[in-house]
Structure formats: C-alpha cells, structure tokens
Amino acid sequence: MTNDATTKVTKWLSEPLPADVSQALDRLAQTDDVYHVAVMPDVHLAGEVCNGTAIATRELIYPQAVGSDIGCGMLAVACDLPAHILANELTAARVLAGLYQNKQPGGRVPEQLPDELMRHDLSSPSLERLKARDGLYQLGSLGRGNHFVEFQSDLQGRLWLMLHSGSRAMGQAITDHHLLQAERSVSELSFLESSRSSGQAYLSDLNWAIEYAMQNRLAMARAVESVLRTLFATEFDWTSLIHSHHNHVQREVHFGQELWVHRKGALPAAESEPGVIPGSMGSRSYHVTGRGLPESLQSSSHGAGRAMARQAARQSISRRDLQQQMRAVWFNQRQADSLRDEAPAAYKDISRVMRAQRDLTRIVRELKPLLVYKGS
C-alpha cells in the first residue's frame, strides 16, 4: 500500500520546530496509508514517532504511533480540604511520608487483578504469564520518568489531586510482542493490517492495556485517599473525577469517514470532552474541555512537552537550579539530583502551549502545584 500524496498536516505550535522534529514529522506524513497528521504545541522528539501527534489511517495500525506506554493518561479528583493545609512544612512532610509508605511495588500486592482485567485473555501465553506476574505486582505503582502524583490548589483554594501514569511493564511488553509480527512501511515504521488476525490481536491487547492503565491510576488514587483519610479524616469527592488517556489508537469518524486515530501524547478533545493538561512539576496545570476541531482530529496537547532531552537537561540543569525552580513546591529533597531532567526548565512554557491551542480546548480550571511525589 502506498501513501496518499494528499496527506494533510496541520500544526498548532508555540515555537518554531527543531530540524529533527520537522524531519520526523515529514517522515510520518509520507508513511503508508497516513491520511491526516495533527501536530500539537507540546510536540517533541520521542523514538520513531514524536510525542504530541495524532495521525489518522484508513486500514493500517502503527504501534509506534501509540508508543509503548499504552493507555498512559491523567487522573484528577478534588478533595474536601482547603489547599492551605499544605502550607505547613510539617504537614507536607507527613503527606510525603504517607505517599512513600503506600507506594507499590514493595508490599501489599493484591491477590489478583481486578475483574475488568481478569475476564480478558491476552493474545499469547507469554503475555498471559507476564500479566500474572508483573501485571499483578505493578498494579498501583507509579513508575519513573515524567509520571507523578501531585497535590494542587485551584483558584478558589480547593485541594486537588493530579496523577499521571500508564500501563507499566505490560504496555511495553505488548508493544514489543506485536512489533515482532509487524511489517515495514516505506518510511521504516512498522505496521499491522487492522483486518488481519495480527492487527486484531494487537487491538485486543491494546484495549486490555488501556484498561490496565486506568485501573492502575484508580488504585493509586485510592491509596492516596487512604493517606488523606489517616492524616485528615477526609476523602475525595469522586463526583469531580476527570480520567482520560493520551496514548491509544481507536476507530473514529472524521472528515465523513471511519479512520484509525492514533494518539501519542495527544489528549482527546471532542466537543465538551473533559481532560487534564499538566505543566511541569513547578508550573500551572489546567482542566479543560475540548472544542472538537476537525483539523486537529479532535485532539490537543497532553501537557507542556519537553524543551530539552533528558540527557541535555541533566547536563545543563544543576541540583541548585532544580531547587530554585521548585522553591514554592514541596518535594523530596533527597531526590533533587535524580530529578534534574524533570526540572521545570526542561519543559516548554505551559502558558504559551495553552495560547497556541486556544481553538482546541476551553480552560475550565487553573491549578498551581503544592506538593509533588515522584517515583524512584
């Protein structure tokens, strides 16, 4: 199958694209069966396909345009506590200590996975074995990198939880397994045909991984709630829950036809669809609803996006730099050296990103960070 020469690329940018990102996007647009590419303002280089992209195909599935952290996404929920409760250093330290004591892995592994995950078999015995081992052991665990638990204040002074994580080892294993079955396109990206058994097997396993990622975030949120219950005798207001994922592929109707929409670091933004767009761990975040713009494949950015690759950030940002950038946010100071590549300066300016996508989302709520917990 050859690529349609009329492939359309639409972009919402907060700054000029680096040459390597432009080259990666050009390659994506020239890939077999790619009908439309939408580029978000948080776009940055990440493996074979940039984060911050949404692409539509007619028949072919590209696992690399989803990424290995299938179902990675955001959860936000309000707490019936005033945000100023975390203004006190001793209280913040108690909350951080409670989060570390409740983290997974490291004890309290559930006896079995939730029913939503047990009733669905994965496509190979090796994946089923991993599901029973790593899948069980890692449920309710955060992971490293840009995954986090954060307490925030909205402009009315209410306390909110924001949580970012994905499908852990399961998403990576599922992606690796199916890439072995894939064929190469003219641009060297690997594809599966959606109508064949190999493509159907990937889609089935992908949907399982999306559910795993959602159950993982919910398990962590319940663990955080238990910390708040112990410390403050309070619980979350679950009616306020916002829960979505930004690494997936699914069948959708756009431009009057059914297409496979791949989102890799792109938030679904259909008309009135709720979502969460985080900044860095030292900058503001936003609750939004989508505007449903067709040219964006009804998508928006999933965050601020990296301004520096991790290695470059580690080379240019010192421990002291990180501590200065995080001076208004509680975090584990013992992690300061290892978190330099997650410093606010390693990310784009979230306010510029939000301005660049005014026609993609409506801002519902603005939040500032108070306390951040990162995996180790």
Query: Letter for the amino acid at 60?
Result: L
* 197-232 and 168-179 helices, crossing angle to 10°: 170
The set of residues, in sequence order, having a beta carbon less than 8 Å from that of 143 and lying 6+ positions away, is 165, 166, 168, 375
Asked whether 260 and 228 are in contact (CB, 8 A), the reply is no
Q: Which two tokens stand for residue 354?
A: 């939000």
Three-state secondary-structure class, residue 247: strand
Query: Letter for the amino acid at 43?
Result: V
Q: Which two tokens stand for residue 231?
A: 């410390």
Q: Where do we find the tokens 């930004």?
A: 246
CA distance 221 to 206: 23
Active site residues: 302
Host H or E run for residue 113: none
Between the alpha carbon of residue 351 and those of residues 228, 280, 328, the distances in Å are: 31, 11, 18
Up-side HSE of residue 132: CA atoms within 13 Å toward CB? 6
Nearest Cα residue to 268 out of 287, 286, 285, 244: 244
End-to-end CA separation in angstroms for the chain: 45
